[in-house]
Structure 1
Amino acid sequence: MALMTLKNVNKYYLSGSDLRFHALKNINLSFNKGELVSIIGESGSGKSTLMNLIGGLDRDFEGEILVDGVNIGTYNENQRVMYNKEKIGFVFQSFNLIPHLNVLENVALAMTLSNVSKKIRVERAKKILAEVGLEKHYYKKPNQLSGGQKQRVAIARSLVNDPEIIIADEPTGALDSETADQVLQIFSEIAASGKLVLLVTHSERVAARSSRIVTIADGSIISDQEYPENQVYHSKEHLSRFSLTSRPKNRNLSFFAAMKLAFLNMKEKFSRSVLIALGGSIGIMSIILMLSLGSGVNAYLTNLMQEQVNPVVSEVRMPEPEEQETSNSSTSEITGDPTGMPMDPAQNSPVMRNDNVPFEQSDLETLENIDGVASLEKGYSTFSLGNNSIMYNDRYRSFMNFITMSSMITTANLSEGEFPQEGEILITQGIADSIGEDSIGKEVTVTLMMDGVITETDMVISGIFASSDAVGPTAVFDSIYMNYADVEAIAQANDIELQPNVVYLVAEDAQANARVKEEIKTLGYQGSAMESIAKLFTDMIDIFTYILAGVAGLSLFVSAIMILTVLYISVVERTQEIGVIKATGGRKKDIRRIFVSESFLIGVFSGSFGVGFAYILSIIGNRVVEQQFGTTIFLVEYQFIVMGMVISILLSVIAGLLPSVCASRLDPVEALRHE
């Protein structure tokens, strides 16, 4: 049985909307192993069209092309791929070598697409290259070879998978006569190894070396002659030279092989690849820096707050009555002449007061019974403008914030002196400055408004509260601190029924305190004003951080468009390469995988550059800020790095999908003709 048989093969091309051009007309041919056949004819006669049909590059025909008795016109996609991998080897007129691969890699391409192990494909490629006289040129690039050497590389590539049929399109068209004779001798030896060699040519010189000449004109076979004097004879010597002793199992292109092909192409266009990666890195760097800035500022505020308060103590206040809510403050009120200015509290001047809602006994019992609470401390605080003041000799200073001492306050809050004992107070630095030097130990007169009653009492200053680093009202307003027992004594002396309006719950440990805080919210009570203000700041910082990160993210959109454009350009530049890959058994999926791998690598490099730049700039920024303000504000967390890398890769891969699909859909015949 003949190796290949063509039965009534017809090929039509659309010529206009309804017209069809009859390119091949009732072709009937039969070919056997070991033949060296020249298919000759003028340009436009149909010989290249016939070659494309036989090679499986064009499946749109009528009739039958039988190979080993099977009609290749009925092949599905996978069968066509295996046909190109195992049965057919192409040698192109313009060589169609891939410029960014060396000689060895070009020859091994078909085995790379078949996912053959590196050891086997390298050994096979070297063996075939040695047979065609190129054993000294394994690692040269195609542009370092002569025309004859390039054609030998193309021949070696067609032989590497040990196909049964070799199709050569004008194999000597670009060669001088001496080199052409050498190439024709190689084809004769290939035929002698038992392979069918089809030379598509218009050269009489090539035809004269063939054992059979098929002449085609206007799409029809006009002659089919054999030349016994040129008949090649099989020999074991030639068989061992060009054939595989054992055929490795053909599989599909692996992800890592596709990645290597993509990397080699990027390496060939190194400058362009670096610029693309740098362009994409700007957005990644900006997003990481913005998130790091927000995280750093939040961490600074959190640490600062934790330094100011005891981590096992929770501050609790009663919820504000809904009916008292106003646009300014839930319990604020203005009294006195609205046109006047705050003066001595004894005068009738405008004042503004904010008193917290007092606790009932039932509330205290409820809070004290929360699981994890070790003890409960009563407290009293008030915020007032124009009511409270402190007097030393003839020096008068009003203050706005009055708070009782509690376990919430730690030694970190003390800049000078000691915590107050009975009859003593703690003041902030602003009040201390108004009194003068050495304010500690001085006796002062404190005027307080409690439950609408103005009280006066003499107290001794025990220390100065470190308000310069505080978070909350104390950081802004002058404040004094007094023991609750002293407040009770003042209330009793002025016939005031004192009820605590703030409570401090001391938890068993820090973990228990976290649970206590959650339970406080669940029961409907309010937490620390300091925590509320800090949370407000952190929420605002988060909002601004995400807004800035979103603005920075716009550059990622520009990067995606840039990557998509560059990959489209790459598809155009590599059109012939795509045709070669398809002709040597590459699947559409393989083409997509190669281009997606390239976009993946661009994403990896962009992300890496972005992360690196962000890290370096954060170090520089932190050093500058630390020198100026004694703190750091950029906190690059590992999740930001991971997120930056993931965004960069996903964006690049998504941008590369459309060009990769376009590349995979290219017609191999048209791709091979592309200049």
Structure 2
Amino acid sequence: MAFLELKNIKKSYFLGQQEFPVLKGINLDFDLGDFVSILGESGGGKSTLMNIIGGLDRNFEGSVEVNGQKLDHKKEKALDKYRRETIGYIYQSYNLISHLSVLDNVLVSLEMTTLSKKERETRAKELLEKVGLGEQMRKYPNQLSGGQKQRVAIARALASDPKIVIADEPTGALDAQNTKEVLELLNEIAEEGRLVITVTHSEAVASEGTRIVRLAEGQIESDERIKAAYPLQDKEMIPSKKLSSLSAIRNAFKHFKYNIKHNSLIILGTSIGLFSVVLFSGLGNGVSGYMGNQITKVANPQVMSVSRYVKDADQSQFGDQDEVDTPAFTTSQMDQLKKQKHVKSVEGSYNAANIDVKYNNQTQKMRTAQNWTASDSTDQIKAGHAPTKAGEVLIDKKTVAEKFNKDNYKDILGKQVELSYQTMNKNKEMVTVTMTATVSGIAESENGTAVNALNTDSMVKAMQAANVETDPQSVSVKIDDLDNVTPTAEKIDALKDNNNRLYKTQTVQSMIKTIQTYVNLVTTILATIAGISLLVSALMIIVTMFMSVSARTKEIGILRALGESKKDIQRLFIAESLITGVLSAVVATGIAFLAQSGVNGALKGIADYAFVQISTGNVITAFVLALIISLLAALLPARRAARLNPIDALSAD
């Protein structure tokens, strides 16, 4: 039984409704060890017949049987496997992949075998030595002569250890010496027990084989045996396998590296959008952190401010609070707050304005002051301590202490000062509240707001002495643990009397959350602007990938002829796009971190704080965006590449 049988092969091309028959019922048998030349003039159907034998052409009548099994040309996966493990191609135009070295061109076929990486490289080098190219392995096809290119094509055809080697006009572009050497190699291949089928229009070339089949006008004109086929050799063939994802990525990277200058421009363009997203996100993190940091320096996050609930107060939240008449707390209401779970203490909050401070025969104006409560932070105290004892006062450095003695402002620490301010008493009469206090500490705010505070007991006694109302309009409620602040605030907000809400709380977390909402809004707007550049980047990748598909059409045909599937081709282009995306994200992240250092360094004179804080999440987001953009941008071009007809692709210029 013959190894390869063609039974009644018919093939026609159509121009509109008009049919042009090319093959008119071909019946041929081929044995292993034979070197068969199919001889005929151009247009006689030789190449079409080779495409059918090679599993590239699927639209024909008749059948092809290999080793007794019918080859189903309707099953694409079966054809991929057939080309991968049974067929080796040698072309007149060589069809080498330009961006791969000589060695890599041979390794392409070996990627679809079960050999290890080391075994693949060893076999590729042995084959190149065999065809006389041992010294040319690292060169690229454009650095070789025609004869050398054809030898590479022969080495590649033999790489996967195929049983059938198809040579389409293998000597058509070679001189006499190279033609002789190539024909000797083809005879050696047949002598190894393979079936060599050569398409040629040269009688001299055909006569070098073991058998000549003459084809004319789509029919067998004669079938002549010149000499006996070579004896078969008992040889174990190299098993084939599907191309792995890792191999596809490696091949994509080789093309990427070969066109590094062109790809660098794409990476730069894509990275600009990604850089903007990372930088703006980092800026949002930094500004939010800075605002939160400033708030926690002024106020203790474990303390909440509670005021009496007034229905119209919510509407005036960002307007003039004085327009809302907020009632004061009664003693029973303060006791009610003290009894709430997790509450450690409840202190009334008092404020005074336009206070005269007399010391050492000088008088300075203290614009505002409040009683010291658990809500206040000691972070702002630069000298001394908080006014926690009766008769103590904390004064601001710039607006009070330095006004008394600019050069030695700390001299006032421990000294007594007289404080007085005017306010309305319970009878709505203007009275003066006075008290004598010892300066316990000096404070300085980083945000420029003056910090002045009086001991609560001393302030209340002075107010009582002047018949001033001491029921507070707001209280500071200290919670036992930071994690309990928000739940306790929610419970206090829910307290009612006769179905009327009693209290309204404000926590440091709520203040920070409000600020972060606005910061996030601005960051989102900036990120949206950056997103436009990302869209442009995506379009750039799409256009580039479509151009790449057009420029690499022949390469796609070569890879399909070697046995790669549609999925392999699609994966190749997607992998290359993803490489572009990942490297774009790397470049964008690197530039963003450099910009972070530059911006933070430039703003250090304003505040000793990192206003740009790029987080791990921001970096991950950049990489995810890059991968999504690259994947979406590559899908259509990769699909188009995979759907190319291998025969049309091979004939592309």
Deviates further, 317-326 or 265-274:
317-326
What is the Cα deviation at residue 619 of structure 1? 0.7
Deviates further, 653-662 or 354-363:
354-363
1:105-160 CA distance string (max 9 Å, x none): 21121221346421222232233223323333333322232211211111111112
One of 522, 526, 530 as aligned partner of 2:504: 526
What is the Cα deviation at residue 280 of structure 1? 1.0
Question: What residue number does 2:293 align with?
Answer: 303
Question: What residue number does 1:343 align with?
Answer: none
Is the contact between residue 394 and residue 453 of structure 2 (CA under 8 Å) also seen in structure 1? yes
SS in 1 for 2:41: coil
Using the alignment, how far apart are the partners of 1:325 and 1:606 within structure 2?
A: 48
1:594-649 CA distance string (max 9 Å, x none): 11111111111100000000001111111111134333211111111111111112
Question: What residue number does 2:471 align with?
Answer: 499
One of 361, 370, 394 as aligned partner of 2:340: 370
Output aligned runs, 1:138-537, within 5 Å. 138-228=137-227, 231-234=228-231, 236=233, 245-248=236-239, 250-322=240-312, 325-326=315-316, 329=319, 331-333=321-323, 356-381=326-351, 388-391=353-356, 399=367, 401=368, 403-415=370-382, 419-420=386-387, 421-422=389-390, 425-428=393-396, 432=400, 437=405, 441-449=416-424, 453-460=429-436, 462-463=438-439, 466=443, 468-470=445-447, 481-495=453-467, 498-513=470-485, 515-517=487-489, 519-520=491-492, 525-528=503-506, 534-537=512-515
Is the contact between residue 378 and residue 500 of structure 1 (CA under 8 Å) also seen in structure 2? yes
User: How many residues are aligned here?
Assistant: 634
Is the contact between residue 26 and residue 220 of structure 1 (CA under 8 Å) also seen in structure 2? yes
Question: What residue number does 1:543 align with?
Answer: 521
Question: What residue number does 2:135 align with?
Answer: 136
- The CA RMSD measured in Å over matched residues stands at 2.9
Using the alignment, how far apart are the partners of 2:171 and 2:638 within structure 1?
A: 34
Using the alignment, how far apart are the partners of 2:629 and 2:543 within structure 1?
A: 14
Shift in alpha-carbon separation, 1:448–1:431, aligned structure 2, 3 A = farther
Does residue 571 (structure 1) correspond to residue 549 (structure 2)? The answer is yes
Is the contact between residue 113 and residue 238 of structure 2 (CA under 8 Å) also seen in structure 1? no
SS in 2 for 1:172: coil
1:264-295 CA distance string (max 9 Å, x none): 10111111122211111111111111111111
What is the Cα deviation at residue 588 of structure 1? 0.5
Is the contact between residue 100 and residue 264 of structure 1 (CA under 8 Å) also seen in structure 2? yes
Question: What residue number does 1:649 align with?
Answer: 627
SS in 1 for 2:605: helix
SS in 1 for 2:504: coil
Using the alignment, how far apart are the partners of 2:314 and 2:94 within structure 1?
A: 89
What is the Cα deviation at residue 481 of structure 1? 3.4
Give the TM-score taking structure 2 as reference length.
0.89
Question: What residue number does 2:3 align with?
Answer: 3
Question: What residue number does 2:65 align with?
Answer: 66
Shift in alpha-carbon separation, 1:175–1:450, aligned structure 2, 3 A = farther
The one-letter code sitting in structure 1 at the alignment partner of 2:45 is G
1:177-207 CA distance string (max 9 Å, x none): 1110111111112122222111111112211
The one-letter code sitting in structure 1 at the alignment partner of 2:53 is I
Using the alignment, how far apart are the partners of 2:260 and 2:317 within structure 1?
A: 63
Using the alignment, how far apart are the partners of 2:397 and 2:508 within structure 1?
A: 19
Using the alignment, how far apart are the partners of 1:314 and 1:509 within structure 2?
A: 12
Is the contact between residue 281 and residue 618 of structure 2 (CA under 8 Å) also seen in structure 1? yes
What is the Cα deviation at residue 167 of structure 1? 0.7
Is the contact between residue 576 and residue 672 of structure 1 (CA under 8 Å) also seen in structure 2? yes
Identity across aligned pairs (percent)?
A: 37
Is the contact between residue 394 and residue 443 of structure 2 (CA under 8 Å) also seen in structure 1? no
Is the contact between residue 320 and residue 330 of structure 1 (CA under 8 Å) also seen in structure 2? no
SS in 1 for 2:99: coil
What is the Cα deviation at residue 311 of structure 1? 4.2
Using the alignment, how far apart are the partners of 1:392 and 1:504 within structure 2?
A: 26
Shift in alpha-carbon separation, 1:260–1:521, aligned structure 2, 3 A = farther
Deviates further, 284-293 or 478-487:
478-487
1:314-367 CA distance string (max 9 Å, x none): 33223333389558747524xxxxxxxxxxxxxxxxxxxx76432344543443
Using the alignment, how far apart are the partners of 1:24 and 1:654 within structure 2?
A: 43
Is the contact between residue 115 and residue 253 of structure 1 (CA under 8 Å) also seen in structure 2? no
What is the Cα deviation at residue 381 of structure 1? 4.3
What is the Cα deviation at residue 495 of structure 1? 4.6
Question: What residue number does 1:15 align with?
Answer: 15
Does residue 97 (structure 1) correspond to residue 96 (structure 2)? The answer is yes
Is the contact between residue 355 and residue 420 of structure 2 (CA under 8 Å) also seen in structure 1? yes
| Structure 2: stretches of 5+ with no match in the other structure | 496-500
Using the alignment, how far apart are the partners of 2:156 and 2:530 within structure 1?
A: 49
Does residue 633 (structure 1) correspond to residue 598 (structure 2)? The answer is no
What is the Cα deviation at residue 425 of structure 1? 4.6
What is the Cα deviation at residue 397 of structure 1? 5.3
Using the alignment, how far apart are the partners of 2:573 and 2:486 within structure 1?
A: 52
Shift in alpha-carbon separation, 1:530–1:136, aligned structure 2, 3 A = closer
SS in 1 for 2:111: helix
Shift in alpha-carbon separation, 1:450–1:252, aligned structure 2, 3 A = farther
SS in 2 for 1:108: helix
SS in 1 for 2:327: coil
SS in 2 for 1:378: strand
Is the contact between residue 348 and residue 476 of structure 2 (CA under 8 Å) also seen in structure 1? yes
What is the Cα deviation at residue 175 of structure 1? 0.5
Is the contact between residue 113 and residue 160 of structure 2 (CA under 8 Å) also seen in structure 1? no
Give the TM-score taking structure 1 as reference length.
0.86
Is the contact between residue 114 and residue 238 of structure 2 (CA under 8 Å) also seen in structure 1? no
Using the alignment, how far apart are the partners of 1:493 and 1:570 within structure 2?
A: 89
Shift in alpha-carbon separation, 1:73–1:324, aligned structure 2, 3 A = closer
Is the contact between residue 395 and residue 452 of structure 2 (CA under 8 Å) also seen in structure 1? yes
| Structure 1: stretches of 5+ with no match in the other structure | 334-353, 383-387
The one-letter code sitting in structure 2 at the alignment partner of 1:556 is L
SS in 2 for 1:113: coil
Question: What residue number does 1:345 align with?
Answer: none
Using the alignment, how far apart are the partners of 1:325 and 1:548 within structure 2?
A: 30
Using the alignment, how far apart are the partners of 2:348 and 2:438 within structure 1?
A: 21
Question: What residue number does 1:26 align with?
Answer: 25
Output aligned runs, 1:573-592, within 5 Å. 573-592=551-570
